[in-house]
Amino acid sequence: MATLISPSLLACDFANIQRDVEMLNSSAADWLHIDIMDGVFVPNISFGFPVMEAMNKHAKKPLDVHLMIVNPDQYIETFVKAGAKIITVHYEACPHLHRTIQHIKSFGIMAGVALNPHTPVHLLEDVIEELDLVLIMSVNPGFGGQKFIPNAIKKVADTKKLIELKNSKALIEVDGGVNSENASLLVKAGADALVAGSFVFNSANPSETIANLKRS
């Protein structure tokens, strides 16, 4: 299977969101990654529902929504109505993680769990069979353009082992500092999907950059 690419709209030109979404529509991108930050769980604030709904009007590919917020459960249904096809919550933000996963799946969409760089993979042992996606953070969440944390490669390999051990069908996604230098290492370790923001949108030809990442 070719690597799935989910460009992060956090790095797009906010004054030209429609243009950048339409560029992604015509590119080899598979999903559109939308980072939702509340200024509490992470030290930054990003998109709200009106902006996401505006993106969804123009998007022709699934919205891959990454919730970096406290108490995500109260907003799940609203994000689904705003167009989310994948919702990923953070392990660190969900005291009743199994219930949160089931809540997401009740809407017929993909459910994912993200792990911060310091959070070990084995903590997903009891829910991995329920998951559609595991998101390995390869930077500390909150800001785009950060430097890749190399230990993420080992975490991807550890996640792959856990998935195989538990006969889970979960995909492995990696988010943070992904570029042409580490993409192939991540895929070799077991990554199925790569999130790339600054590396895509700051490149001379974003569509070509996406196509190159897809061949990783």
Q: Domains (ranges, CATH) in the chain?
A: 4-214 (3.20.20.70)
Measured at the CA of 14, the angle between CA 67 and CA 59, to 5 degrees, comes to 65
Condensed to tens digits (0 to 9), the pLDDT of residues 86-106 reads 999 999 999 999 999 999 999
Strand order in the sheet with 193-196: 4-7, 193-196, 171-175, 133-137, 110-115, 84-90, 63-68, 32-37
Contact 66, 34 (CB under 8 A): yes
Sequence letter at residue 199: F
Of 20, 30, 35, 64, which residue is the catalytic one?
Answer: 35
Of 20, 30, 38, 175, which residue is the catalytic one?
Answer: 175
Q: How far apart are CA 96 and CA 33, in angstroms?
A: 25
168 has a pLDDT exceeding 90 = yes
Condensed to tens digits (0 to 9), the pLDDT of residues 14-71 reads 999 999 999 999 999 999 999 999 999 998 899 889 999 999 999 999 999 999 999 9
Contact 55, 79 (CB under 8 A): no
35 is catalytic: yes
